[in-house]
Amino acid sequence: MPVDVRLPTVLRPHAGGKSVVTLEGGTIGEILQALVTEYPDTSDQVLNADGTLHRFVNVYVNDDDVRYLSALETPVKAGDEVSILPAVAGG
Amino acid sequence: MGVHRSVLDLIGNTPMVDISQLSPNPNARIIIKLEGQNPGGSVKDRVALSLVEQAERDGVLKPGQPDQVLIEPSSGNTGIGLALVCGLRGYHLKVVLPENVSPERRQLLEVFGAEIIESPGAEASNGAVRMAQRLAAEHPEWRFLYQYGNAANPRAHYEHTGPEIWRDCPEVTHFVAGLGTSGTLLGVGRFLKEQNPSVQVWAIEPPAGERVDGLRNLDDGYIPPIFEELGGADLLDRKTVVRPRESIEWTRRLKSEAGLFVGISSGAAVAGAAKCAASLPEGQEAVIVVVSADGGWKYLSTGAWTDDLDVVTQRAEETIYF
A78 Cβ under 8 Å from any chain B Cβ: no
CB A69 within 8 A of CB A75: no
Tell which of B185, B216, B239, B242 to mutate to test the A interface (max A CBs under 10 Å): B239
Return d(Cα A4, Cα A15) in angstroms, integer.
Answer: 14
pLDDT reported for residue B67? 94
pLDDT at B121 over 80: yes
Confidence of residue B301 (pLDDT cuts 50, 70, 90): very high
Residue range B44-147 forms a domain whose CATH class is alpha beta
Return d(Cα B205, Cα B272) in angstroms, integer.
Answer: 9
User: Could you count the other beta carbons within 10 Å of the beta carbon of residue B133?
Assistant: 17
pLDDT digits (tens, 9 = 90+) for A62-86: 999 999 999 999 999 999 999 999 8
pLDDT reported for residue B215? 67
CATH number at B7-41+158-317: 3.40.50.1100
Tell which of A5, A10, A47 to mutate to test the B interface (max B CBs under 10 Å): A10
Taking contacts as CB-CB distances below 8 angstroms, the residues of chain A near B216 are 10
Chain region(s) in chain B for CATH 3.40.50.1100? 7-41+158-317, 44-147
Residue A68 is nearest to which of B78, B183, B237, comparing CB atoms? Answer: B237
User: How many domains does chain A contain in total?
Assistant: 1
Return d(Cα B119, Cα B132) in angstroms, integer.
Answer: 9
pLDDT at B212 over 70: no
pLDDT reported for residue B213? 64
pLDDT digits (tens, 9 = 90+) for B144-195: 999 999 999 999 999 999 999 999 999 999 999 999 999 999 999 999 999 9
Strand partners, B289: B31, B175
B238-241/B16-18 β-pairing: unpaired
A81-86/A57-61 β-pairing: antiparallel
Percent of chain B with pLDDT over 70: 98
Of the candidates B322, B223, B307, the residue with the CA atom closest to the CA atom of residue B268? B322
CB pair distance less than 8 Å for A88 and B147: no
pLDDT at B124 over 90: no
HEC string of B263-317 equals CHHHHHHHHHHHHHHHCCCCCCCEEEEEEECEECHHHHHHCCCCCCHHHHHHHHH
pLDDT reported for residue B149? 97
Instruction: State the Cα torsion B73-B77-B80-B83 to the nearest 10°.
Output: -50
Q: Quick one: closest CA in A to B72, which residue?
A: A91
In terms of residue numbers, what domain contains A29? 2-86
A41 Cβ under 8 Å from any chain B Cβ: no
Return d(Cα B205, Cα B185) in angstroms, integer.
Answer: 12
Q: Positive or negative CA dihedral for A10, A13, A16, A19?
A: positive
Q: Is residue A91 part of a domain?
A: no
B148 Cβ under 8 Å from any chain A Cβ: yes
User: Between residues B28 and B124, which one has the greater pLDDT?
Assistant: B28
What does pLDDT average to over chain B?
Answer: 95
CB neighbour burial string for B250-262, b if at least 16 within 10 angstroms, e if fewer? bbbbbbeebebbb
pTM equals 0.96
CB pair distance less than 8 Å for A55 and B77: no
Which CATH number goes with the domain that contains A43? 3.10.20.30
A13 Cβ under 8 Å from any chain B Cβ: no
Is B125 noted as a catalytic residue in this protein?
Answer: no
Chain A / chain B CB contacts < 8 angstroms: 115
Return d(Cα B89, Cα B187) in angstroms, integer.
Answer: 26
**Range with the poorest average pLDDT among A43-47, B151-155, B196-200:** A43-47
Q: Is residue A59 part of a domain?
A: yes
In order, the DSSP letters of B38-60 are STTSBTHHHHHHHHHHHHHHHTS
Confidence of residue B210 (pLDDT cuts 50, 70, 90): confident
Q: Report ipTM for this prediction.
A: 0.93
Contacts (Cβ under 8 Å, ≥6 apart) of B59:
none
How far does chain A reach from its first CA to its final CA, in angstroms?
Answer: 39
pLDDT reported for residue A43? 86
Q: Is residue A78 part of a domain?
A: yes
Return d(Cα B4, Cα B11) in angstroms, integer.
Answer: 11
Is B33 noted as a catalytic residue in this protein?
Answer: no
pLDDT digits (tens, 9 = 90+) for B43-78: 999 999 999 999 999 999 999 899 999 999 998 999
Q: What is the identity of the amino acid at B68?
A: Q
**Range with the poorest average pLDDT among A39-48, B3-12, B262-271:** A39-48
